[in-house]
Amino acid sequence: MRIPMIAGNWKMNTTVSEAIKLVNEMCPELDKINNIDKVICPPFISLVPVSELIKGSSIKLGAQNLYFEEKGAYTGEISPPMLADLCELVIIGHSERRHYFGETGEMVSKKVLAALGAGLKPILCIGERLDDYEAGRTEEVVTEQLSSSLAGIAHPDGLVIAYEPVWAIGTGRAATGEQANETIGLIRRSTAKLYSDEITRDLRILYGGSVTADNIAEFIQQPEIDGALVGGASLKAAEFLSIVRQTSEIRQVR
């Protein structure tokens, strides 16, 4: 049985005081929702105050990125041990990092390895761009991203994968539940080829891309989909709570 997960990626939004306000608005209610992993991923500078606010609650903290070196002359970067003190999870290889900041599969795999080495659970993002989707290259692209991102990783303990078609991120054009389920099934089968059936059975794979309170049920009802990585809607307390609540309720009746 895979515990569902809803992770909120706040991206480059919220000042420290806005992050504190958002946590105060949603976390008391979020804390009460059971049978689901609830993750919030604020910007780096808010991780310390947010970690204090959610201490002792059932809410997990995630970072949005890391650098793969442990320490040293890497101005502006944040290392895995720095995050491991504060966070349980870290988003790696988000399409915005791949496309705006030139992250390659090789860099992503180094980051996944470094995160695992520091005891962090990576939320590894993969997904095809619109031109690949339209040309029917989804399978080719996601399997290549999967194998390059996991190259050299023998034991992906705690790994979570987020399938995020790039054309669905922040566009309001979500995939359908069936489309996402089909590609996530394919990702699960590809992972089984890289690892064992046992590892793959327990591997959580989330959908991400314009998830809202209005469409979350469509995804969660699908057998392969274990939750969602939520961008824009995770910045609205009532909407994020509704997404988490619906996920918990749907999974309980399964």
Residues with a catalytic annotation lie at 94, 164
Residue linked to tokens 């399997």:
143
Can residue 225 be called a binding residue for ligand PEP (CB under 6 A)? no
Binding letters toward ligand PEP, positions 163-192, x by CB under 6 A: -x----xx----------------------
Angle of the 105-117 helix axis to the 138-149 helix axis, nearest 10: 50
Q: What residue spans of 80-231 are helical by DSSP H?
A: 80-84, 95-100, 105-117, 130-134, 138-149, 177-194, 197-202, 216-220
Residue span binding ligand PEP (CB under 6 A) among the ranges 16-24, 71-79, 151-159, 205-213: 205-213
Q: Which is nearer to ligand PEP, 126 or 169 (CB)?
A: 169
Can residue 209 be called a binding residue for ligand PEP (CB under 6 A)? yes
Can residue 43 be called a binding residue for ligand PEP (CB under 6 A)? no
Strand 59-63 with 37-41, pairing: parallel
> Could you tell me the two tokens for 7?
């992770």
Question: Which residues make Cβ contacts (< 8 Å) with residue 140, sequence separation at least 6?
Answer: 132
CB of 217 to ligand PEP, least distance (A): 16
Residue span binding ligand PEP (CB under 6 A) among the ranges 98-106, 127-135, 186-194, 202-210: 202-210
Residues that bind ligand PEP (CB under 6 A): 9, 11, 164, 169-170, 208-211, 229-233
